Structure 1
Amino acid sequence: MKIVPLLALTALVAGCATVPPPDAPRFDHSLTARAQSERIKYVILHYTVSDLPRSINTLANGTQVSAHYLLTDTSPPFFYTLVDESRQANHAGYSNWKIYNQLNAASIGIEIVNPGFRETPQGRVYAPFQQAQIDQLIPLLKDIVKRHNIPFGNILGHNDIAPQRKQDPGPMFPWKQLADAGLIPWPEPSRVTARMAGFQEQLPEVSWFQRKLAEIGYAVPQNGELDQATRNVIAVFQTKYRPSLYDGTPDAETAAMMDVLTSPVPQLPPPAATLPVTPASPAQPDVPSESN
């Protein structure tokens, strides 16, 4: 008979434990500000420049760098989820794109296991990516873009946001496949060809290339000089859009690609509305008048 009062007392004590102290902050969740957006605005792609065990050790056990995802080179490839998307990973370092800098705070980082490059007597040779890795990567990118409402074109390489110090994901990364999947913009070939003729006749000044690169989003000098920093940015642009030649030299094809990327496709006006045509009444035969 004493069990019921004991249970009631226990419930009363438990209820009292959840009552906030009188000086605790009070919150009203009935209002939501209209001026807000997703914190995550970019996805940054990297290669690891190492094999899988060393990549895991660096990104999971190290204290300096990390990434949200690590895409393996196993068969089949899969992702390690190393940092929750709600938290910041240290993958971008000193970085700039458009109005943003220090992109760690506004991006998701994806590392892809790839040896990067090796130096040879003939020059630097980059390693290809497995198609199976790209087949895993594209669905994840589509999912991230959808969930975070990431603006079109905000999937970038580490070299895009740090062109003076980074090469990854390098010229072997198949950016065109991402464009074909609707994830990034691409200079439409026929428009590039159409504009090349004019640039072959008269190549723009270096300052024009610098302005176009800045308009796309790159951090680039605006001094009108073809210095090494400007060459580095041009080379990064070429690495993405023309990986067959990325020597940092401003040429007609590079100019045409930049011009197309920064020029919206002209929108043709909709056809004029036409009013329905009322068919003419059939001609009536003349009727003789009955009056004189």
Structure 2
Amino acid sequence: MVSGGFVKGLLVVLCVALLSGCASSLKVDRQHVALGQDSRVQYIVVHYTSADLSRSLDILTREQVSSHYLIGESPATIYQLVDEDRRAWHAGDSQWQGRTWLNSSSIGIELVNQGYLEDEYGQRRWLPYKDEQIEALIVLLKDIMLRHGLKPGAVIGHSDIAPQRKVDPGPLFPWKRLADAGLLPWPDDTEVQALRAGYAGELPSVAWFQEALSAVGYAVPLHGLLDEQTRNVIAAFQMKYRQSLYDGEPDAQTAALLAVVSGLRS
């Protein structure tokens, strides 16, 4: 008597053989290439790992979270962990410029950096990035942007796309250095100072701050109330463009920076 298990196994083998045969006989004409196409990659998201190199490699290769690249501290070795044509699990619940769940449309780059140390009173001491690590990052970013046809401004932080739950790459990440390398636009200081004087006399409404933050790309409430969510988004913006103070308060300097970056005037 033939067992049921044997029959099931035989059926599986036959199915695999049939599928293999179909695959080997598949013929696709690839002579015609559509003009209307571009890279699936729209953004490059920068993170810190909150761990040393050994632990970072372990997390990013053995757990569900992943990134396309990891850059060590010293030496600043660049590790590719996921092919760029595949999706890495680095962004999570995220939004930027109206696009959501950015794993599918972004390349993730993790920098080995502890982030911050917290004392018994909850005060954070942020840890700086190594110069050679940032230099390696800039070279990598330029290469990725060139190959995928990305414009300056496509490089964003985890805190930009998830300001309610993430703060990386943190207030010591040198965004201005990336701007000087041509990787993102930067607000002109003269223009910012001129606008700041006017906003010091009359601060724009909370609704304007929300509208301008939304124009930049942030997911922010648009109800005109200065709630915790709005403060978190303001803090994320400040952490990028005014790293000396990122308290989430809608003050005159933040308004001036936001007006220049967003192109909106109150």
Query: Are positions 1:80 and 2:79 aligned together?
Result: yes
Cα deviation for residue 122 of structure 1 reads 6.9
- Alignment partners' CA distance in 2, 1:27 and 1:139: 37
Specify the code of the residue in structure 2 equivalent to 1:77: A
Specify the code of the residue in structure 1 equivalent to 2:49: T
Specify the code of the residue in structure 1 equivalent to 2:256: A
| Partner-residue secondary structure (3-state), 1:221 | coil
Specify the code of the residue in structure 1 equivalent to 2:233: V
- Alignment partners' CA distance in 2, 1:190 and 1:43: 29
Mean Cα deviation higher: 96-105 or 213-222: 96-105
Query: Are positions 1:42 and 2:62 aligned together?
Result: no
Query: Are positions 1:239 and 2:239 aligned together?
Result: yes
Cα deviation for residue 25 of structure 1 reads 5.0
Q: TM-score, normalised by structure 2?
A: 0.87
Identity of aligned residues (%): 52
Query: Are positions 1:145 and 2:136 aligned together?
Result: no
| 1:262 aligned residue | 262
- Alignment partners' CA distance in 2, 1:226 and 1:118: 29
Deviations 1:214-264 (A, max 9, x none): 000000000000000000000000000001000000001000001111229
Say which one has the larger Rg.
1
Q: 1:41·1:151 contact (CA, 8 Å) conserved in 2? A: no
| Partner-residue secondary structure (3-state), 2:166 | coil
List aligned pairs for 1:215-226, cutoff 5 A: 215-226=215-226
| Partner-residue secondary structure (3-state), 2:221 | coil
**Alignment root-mean-square deviation, CA:** 1.6
Q: 2:98·2:219 contact (CA, 8 Å) conserved in 1? A: no
Q: 2:213·2:262 contact (CA, 8 Å) conserved in 1? A: no
Specify the code of the residue in structure 2 equivalent to 1:95: S
Segments of structure 2 that go 5 or more residues without pairing to the other structure are: 1-20
| Partner-residue secondary structure (3-state), 1:147 | helix
| 1:136 aligned residue | 136
Cα deviation for residue 151 of structure 1 reads 2.4
- Alignment partners' CA distance in 2, 1:185 and 1:90: 27
| 2:102 aligned residue | 103
Cα deviation for residue 135 of structure 1 reads 1.1
Cα deviation for residue 96 of structure 1 reads 0.2
- Alignment partners' CA distance in 1, 2:109 and 2:246: 24
Specify the code of the residue in structure 2 equivalent to 1:154: A
- Alignment partners' CA distance in 1, 2:85 and 2:134: 24
- Alignment partners' CA distance in 1, 2:104 and 2:232: 25
| Partner-residue secondary structure (3-state), 2:156 | strand
| 2:61 aligned residue | 60
Q: 1:93·1:102 contact (CA, 8 Å) conserved in 2? A: yes
- Alignment partners' CA distance in 2, 1:59 and 1:256: 39
- Alignment partners' CA distance in 2, 1:193 and 1:95: 32
Q: 2:210·2:224 contact (CA, 8 Å) conserved in 1? A: yes
Regions of 4+ moved over 6 Å: none
- The structure that is helix-richer by fraction is 2
Q: TM-score, normalised by structure 1?
A: 0.80
Deviations 1:49-108 (A, max 9, x none): 01111101100122x10011110112x211111111111110001100012111111111
- Alignment partners' CA distance in 2, 1:99 and 1:166: 18
Aligned length: 242
- Alignment partners' CA distance in 2, 1:222 and 1:99: 14
- Alignment partners' CA distance in 1, 2:262 and 2:227: 23
| Partner-residue secondary structure (3-state), 1:44 | strand
Cα deviation for residue 24 of structure 1 reads 5.1
Cα deviation for residue 26 of structure 1 reads 4.7
- Alignment partners' CA distance in 2, 1:210 and 1:116: 28
List aligned pairs for 1:1-292, cutoff 5 A: 26-62=27-63, 64-74=64-74, 76-120=75-119, 121=121, 123-263=123-263
Q: 2:50·2:112 contact (CA, 8 Å) conserved in 1? A: yes
Cα deviation for residue 35 of structure 1 reads 2.2
- Alignment partners' CA distance in 2, 1:59 and 1:237: 27
Deviations 1:181-211 (A, max 9, x none): 0001111101100111110111000000000
